[in-house]
Amino acid sequence: IDEVMDGGLSGGELGVVVAPSGIGKSWFLQALGVNALRAGKNVVHYTLELNEAYVGMRFATIFSGVPVANIKDSKDEVRDTIKNECKGELIIKYFPTRGATVQTIHTHLKTIELMGHEPDLILVDYADLLRDVGSGDAAVRHQLGNIYEDLRGLSGEFQIPVWTASQSNKEGSTSNVVGLENMSEAYGKAMVADVVVTLSRKPEERRKE
C-alpha cells in the first residue's frame, strides 16, 4: 500500500477498505497498523465490534504469525517477537456499536494527547458502525455521508491519517472485483475518501484455505 500510494496516507486524508462481510476488512486495517508500528509510528485503533483483548490478540497474530487460538500457548515467543518488532505505541479503544460518534473519537484523542500520547495513525473499525449526530431522521445514506465527512475533518484537524472500512452491498459478495458501485448504503462515502481499497474473495477461494 505504501509503495502504491507513494508512502501512504498523509494527515488530513481518509482511506477506506471496502469488502463483503467475512472477507477480512478488520484484518486488513490491523495489518496496516502493524506495518506502521514496525516503522516506529504510534497507532490508535478504535474497535466498534470486537473487544479490546481480542483485537490485541489479532495484532499479536499479525506480528508473530501465531494463530489467535495458539497465542496463550506461545506467550513467550509472541512476546519476544512483539518486543523486537514493535517500535511504536499501540492504543486499542473499544466503543459499543452505534454508541460512539466522530466527536467521541475526537474527545478521546484530545484526552490521550493530554496524557502525552502522540498518534501517527488512526484506525476505525469501522465507520459504518459509528452514530451520526444532528441529522435526525435523515436517510441512512445521508447519515453515513456525514460520518465519513466528519472522519475526514477529524483527520484534517489532528493532521493524522485515518483508515476505516466499509461493508459492500450484496452484489459485492459475488463480484470478481468489488467496485465503488458496491459500497453499501452510500456511494457518497467514496466521494469523501481520498483512497478506496476494495477486497474480494469468491466462495471457491474460501474453500481452498
Q: With pLDDT > 90 as the criterion, what percentage of the chain qualifies? A: 64
Q: What pLDDT shows up at residue 8?
A: 87
pLDDT tens-digit readout, 6-29: 888 999 999 999 888 788 899 999
CB 62 within 8 A of CB 31: yes
Sequence length of the chain is: 209
Mean pLDDT, range 45-53, rounded to an integer: 96
Among residues 15, 23, 24, the alpha carbon closest in space to that of 174 is found at: 23
Q: Which of 112, 120, 99 is nearest to 48 (CA)?
A: 99
Rounded to an integer, what distance in angstroms lies between the CA atom of residue 152 and that of residue 180?
18
- Tell me the per-residue pLDDT of 134-192, one tens digit each, with 9 for 90 and over: 766 667 777 888 899 999 999 999 999 999 998 875 554 555 555 555 555 556 677 88
Asked whether residue 35 carries a pLDDT value surpassing 90, the answer given is yes
Looking at residue 128, the DSSP 8-state letter turns out to be G
- Pick from 166, 148, 153, 131: nearest CA to 29: 166
What is the rounded distance in angstroms from the CA atom of residue 25 to the CA atom of residue 28?
5
Which is more confidently placed, 4 or 104? Answer: 104
Query: Rounded to whole angstroms, how far apart are CA atoms 145 and 132?
Result: 9
pLDDT at 199: 85
User: Does the pLDDT value for residue 209 go beyond 60?
Assistant: no
Collapsed DSSP state (helix, strand, coil) of residue 163: strand
What are the grid coordinates assigned to 192, written together? Answer: 469523501
135 vs 80 pLDDT, higher one: 80
Q: Higher confidence at residue 135 or residue 122? A: 122
39: phi then psi, degrees, rounded to nearest 5: -90, 5
Distance between CA 94 and CA 47 in Å, rounded? 5
Q: Which residues pair with 16 in a beta bridge?
A: 164, 196
Round the average pLDDT of the chain to a whole number and report it. 87
The predicted pLDDT at position 133 comes to: 83
Measure the N-to-C terminal CA separation of the chain; round to a whole number of Å: 24
Helix, coil or strand: residue 177: coil
